Structure 1
Amino acid sequence: MLGQGRADLALLRQGTARDEVARDRVRRALALRAARYDRRDTDLPLLRHLLAHEAEASTTDELRLAAVLVGLHGLAEDLPLLHTVRETTYDTWCGPGGIPEPGASGEELREWARRLDLSFFGTDPGDEPESTWTGLAREQGLDEVARVALIRRLDQVGRRACAQRPVGSDAPEPHGLAHEFMDLGDTFQALRAQRLFTALQDTARVPDDSLKHWRGTDLGAFVVDEHHEVARAAAADPGLAEEVREVTEAAAVLLPELSEAVRRGVRR
């Protein structure tokens, strides 16, 4: 997934394709991801350039990453740039928070960057959630690569559910996978993920029994809304008529089971 990013990072280090990479959102994001795992003291000028352009894309993981990579160099002269980037829009203001105020020392800046690096980034690709790699695949147009990986993740959840084993906090959520499949246009797998998500509401084993009360909370409205959303999208495919019927009927069965207050929150 980082092949293009590494290639562009090499060009940037050579002093070529500087603006071509910085102005392309996908190439810029991949170059920053590559720089995360291959850090060099000489990269500061190119990191500043990428950071300034990333602010144009609003608040993103790459914006926070670029700010951290710049801050790790520990130069107080970069504080005005970081504050300018953060103040670009309201969204960027909500991004890399806690930046030391202008006039702070380089060491204070470095310590801020170290804390965020430890919390969100680091240098080991193995620590990255698989959703990051599927997201990068989609951004590069590698939809089939992303789809295969998502199906594997959905199969993992399904096997655990069938074996009545706890899914665990590190496993992907089926409703999140449903959205990712919808982004890829794979309505069949999105329907499959949605059905599994609904089944897990009643069968998942957790340390407490709060999950069994989901019909009386906002989660109940969310589940029914998700059924409607997936059914509407799938209805465009005549080959999925039976699946659309099943999901629509399931929503109709669930709706009366919700509390009156929750039912009012269901979008029609």
Structure 2
Amino acid sequence: MDASDRPLRDIVLGPGRETLRRLRSGTSPTRGEAAPARERVAADPVLRAGVLYAARHDPRAEDLPVLRFLLERECESGPGAERFEERWLAAALVAAHGREEDVALLRTATSGQVTDSAGAVEWARARQESDAEAESEFTWIELARRQGRIAPARLALIRMLDDAGRDPDRLRKLSRALEHLGDHAQATRAQLHLLSLRHTDRDRAGEEYVLARLERGKGDLGAAGRALSRARAAVGARGAPTDGTVAQWHRRGLGRMITEQHLELVLAAVEAGDPELARQTMTHARRLLDTIGKESAKALSRLSTRAKWAVAGLERPHTRTP
């Protein structure tokens, strides 16, 4: 099978499966493989995630010592760790064994949700059912991204986008996942398709500011400005009537996000040497800052100050020297 035809799940689970095999060897005559694998897993949270997913898809009764080790490492990562999903996954795998000696560790790992061995099994069953329902192609795409396998993740997303049809939720996930990979062009394609399916002012406004962010990411600042113009129109910022779905938009997160994208575009336009776009966008940004709630404006104060100074530093029209 050509590498490009291999399911992404098999690609990203490969290192985890191999490492799990080595960890399992710790209870066999070839246990010499286990010690180096433990060291790598302890130091590498991405590899550890792959091992946990591999264990979930190939559960074995004899895995409990390995699973305890993995859960201990996840708990040592602390609350500031990049991700916490793997801690819950490891906890569910350990809890499924229902051992009394694991209760103290599980109580810590689950923030007190597991308090006894009988409850641990019930909790694990519910958690595993929930995880199985939540698992999707996006699970493997995110793991591929964390592993640095950008090309196969991007290929999988583009194939999914080609077959997405008219499913708004799927298109939104595809747009965000492609943006996360840095493919703003394909993310824009997904976002434009999504926008064609949105029919309320609130939905259009919410997706237009995202489109502006994506257009800016791929370097089309003019298109970003047009998307923000449509976002302003959708919320009635230009005085146009709305369909009633954006009431109090200026006091909600929607107003803050639209304003934030204006300020980001100002900075991008200044950096790109487009003073006209920078000044025009700053004019709209100032009006929005005067319109949105005080807390939202305060949250954007640093960004707005940067944008104002950037525009102030532009050469004024008609003052250029020959």
**Bin for the TM-score computed over the shorter chain:** 0.5 to 0.7
Q: Which residue of structure 1 aligns with residue 14 of structure 2?
A: 3
Residue 142 (structure 2) pairs with residue 135 (structure 1): yes
- Partners of 1:201 and 1:214 within 8 A in 2: no
Distance of aligned partners of 1:239 and 1:44 in 2 relative to their CA distance in 1, 3 Å threshold: farther
Residue 259 of structure 1: CA displacement?
5.0
The secondary structure found in structure 1 opposite 2:246 is: helix
| TM-score (normalizing by structure 1) | 0.67
Aligned to 2:60: 40
Structure 1 residue 25 corresponds to structure 2 residue 45: yes
Q: Does the CA contact (< 8 Å) of 1:47 and 1:69 recur in 2?
A: yes
Q: Which runs of 5+ in 2 are unaligned?
A: 1-11, 27-33, 158-177, 236-242, 305-322
**CA-to-aligned-CA distance 1:119-141 (integer Å, 9 cap, x gap):** 3x12x7x83362x3343223212
Q: Percent identity?
A: 33
3-state DSSP of counterpart to 1:100 = coil
Q: Distance in 2 between matches of 1:7 and 1:258?
A: 54
Distance 1:162 1:218, change over 3 A: closer
- Contact 1:100-1:112 at 8 Å conserved across structures: yes
Indicate if the aligned counterparts of 2:191 and 2:211 stay in contact, CA closer than 8 A: no
Shift in Å at residue 97 of structure 1?
3.4
CA 255–137 in structure 1, closer or farther in 2 if over 3 Å, else same: same
* CA distance in structure 1 between the aligned counterparts of 2:225 and 2:69, rounded to whole angstroms: 42
> Who is 1:63 aligned against?
87
How do residues 1-268 of structure 1 correspond to structure 2 at under 5 angstroms? Answer: 1-15=12-26, 16=34, 17-59=37-79, 60-83=84-107, 85-86=108-109, 96-101=110-115, 104=116, 106-119=117-130, 121-122=131-132, 127-128=135-136, 130=138, 132-146=139-153, 149=157, 150=178, 151=183, 152=186, 154-164=188-198, 187-188=217-218, 199=230, 209-229=244-264, 232=267, 234=268, 238=272, 251-252=285-286, 254-259=288-293, 262-267=296-301, 268=304
1: CA distance, partners of 2:274 / 2:153: 22
1:241 deviation in Å? 8.5
d(CA) in 2 for partners of 1:146, 1:243: 35
Equivalent position SS for 2:248: helix
Aligned-residue offset at 1:257: 4.0
Distance 1:139 1:266, change over 3 A: same
Deviation at 1:159, TM superposition (A): 0.6
CA shift digits 1:30-89 (9 cap, x unpaired) = 211222222222211111101111122224110111111100111121112223x43xxx
What do residues 215-239 of structure 1 show as CA deviations (whole Å, max 9, x unaligned)? 232431233234435665x579749
Deviations, residues 80-119 of structure 1 (Å, cap 9, x unaligned): 2223x43xxxxxxxxx234332xx2x32210112222223
Structure 1: runs of 5 or more not aligned: 87-95
